Amino acid sequence: MKARVHVTLKNGVLDPQGKAIGHSLNRLGFPEVGDVRQGKFIELELAETDAAKARARVEEMCRKLLANTVIENYSIELVG
Amino acid sequence: MKAAVLVFPGSNREGDVAQAIELVTGRRPQMVWHGDGDFEKVDLIVVPGGFSYGDYLRCGAMAAQSPVMAEVKKRAAQGVPVLGICNGFQIVTEAGLLPGTLMRNSHLKFVCADVHLRVETSQSLFTNRYQAGQVIKVPVAHAEGNYFADADTMKRLEDRGQIAFRYCGPDGSIVDGRGNPNGSSSNIAGVFNDTKTVLGLMPHPENAVEPMFGGTDGKALFEGMVEALS
């Protein structure tokens, strides 16, 4: 089974990289782009067949290492 | 004062801080490799600057989970003083020894410059050789020094006097973010834990200890620790 983890900045946390990306897109001829938030995508290969167990383990991984919960949120998607 | 300086793959200021410690104590600190789960008993643990683990995932995130940091957390809980400088500040926040976190500089650029700092308190084992309100000049060199903590944590830091240093103008003013090189909340350059036995700061006092480096304002930090811990 695979887990796909998205790590994003919490609402209200300033995202200067997202802002810079937005400005660049506007300059490149994409005026429709408004607010941009960037984050991380992490794919994990898991030796686990039970979805509930896998989710609980990945939650723990997110809290311990993959996300800094002071400023980041995470979401988990299980595949396969 | 017996000190240990941690060394991670990618650390690069461990020699600078070891030299600063030797300058004020006359003895070389013990250098401790990140994979060592145990090391000699010391009076002070220093987590130096650099780019531990290539800043992978987040600055300090990987180093915070290393065997040596598990031991540092144990000793910090027993009251052993810990000083985290620059990447070391990022590592100790990631390890949960200090509140908040260090984000990308608001202007997205690496900043390498001398900055002015206002010493917020002299009531700590790290800052006892300074006066509260004193302005000192030391260098910074980082891309992720933008201190952030949620509103409740910020209030607690202010109320309990846990802010050690703030970026300021040459006259000590912090109005309108004066002297702030990275967008840091409330101009914070360094914070203590609630017992003031852990200090993390982005600037490099170890690079301002001898006149040939352009200033000696950082030396009192090391002298103060020696006085408190010897």
Rounded mean pLDDT, B158-178: 95
The count of CB pairs under 8 A between chains A and B is 32
- Asked whether the beta carbons of A47 and A80 are under 8 A apart, the reply is no
Q: What is the CATH number of the domain that holds A23?
A: 3.30.1280.10
Structural domain boundaries, residue A69: 2-79
| A16·B149 Cβ contact <8 A | no
Active site residue B107: no
Residues of chain B found within 8 Å of residue A44, distances taken between Cβ atoms? none
As a whole number of angstroms, the distance between CA B166 and CA B177 comes to 10
What is the average pLDDT value for chain B, to the nearest integer? 97
Predicted confidence (pLDDT) at residue B86 exceeds the cutoff of 90: yes
B204 included as an active-site residue: yes
Per-residue confidence at B67, pLDDT binned at 50, 70, 90?
very high
Q: Tell if the CB–CB gap between A66 and B103 is shorter than 8 Å.
A: no
pLDDT of residue A50: 96
| CATH (domain of B177) | 3.40.50.880
Extract the tokens encoding B73.
Answer: 């957390």
- How many beta carbons lie within 10 A of that of residue B38, not counting itself? 10
Residue B23 in this model has a pLDDT that exceeds 90: yes
Q: Are B105 and B115 in contact (CB under 8 A)?
A: no
Which contacts of B212-219 are long-range, i.e. CB under 8 A and separated by 24 or more positions?
Answer: B214/B114, B215/B114, B215/B137, B215/B138, B217/B136, B217/B137, B217/B138, B218/B20, B218/B136, B218/B138, B219/B20, B219/B23, B219/B24
CA distances from B42 to B12, B39, B160 (A): 22, 9, 28
User: pLDDT digits over A59-71, tens only?
Assistant: 999 999 999 999 9
Number of domains in chain B: 1
Query: Per-residue pLDDT for B15 more than 90?
Result: yes
* % residues pLDDT > 90 (chain B): 96
pLDDT band of residue B54 (cuts 50, 70, 90) is very high
Question: In the structure, what pLDDT confidence band is assigned to residue B176 with cuts at 50, 70 and 90?
Answer: confident
Compare CB distances from A16 to B58, B94, B106 and report the shortest one's residue: B106
- Containing domain of residue B158, as a range? 3-229
Subunit contact B108:A71, Cβ cutoff 8 A: no
What's the number of domains chain A is made of? 1
**pLDDT of amino acid B131:** 98
At residue A80, the pLDDT reads 82
Nearest to B103 among A20, A64, A71 (CB): A71
Q: What is the ipTM of this complex?
A: 0.86
Tens-place pLDDT, residues A5-33: 999 999 989 898 899 999 999 999 999 99
Identify the pLDDT of residue A14.
86
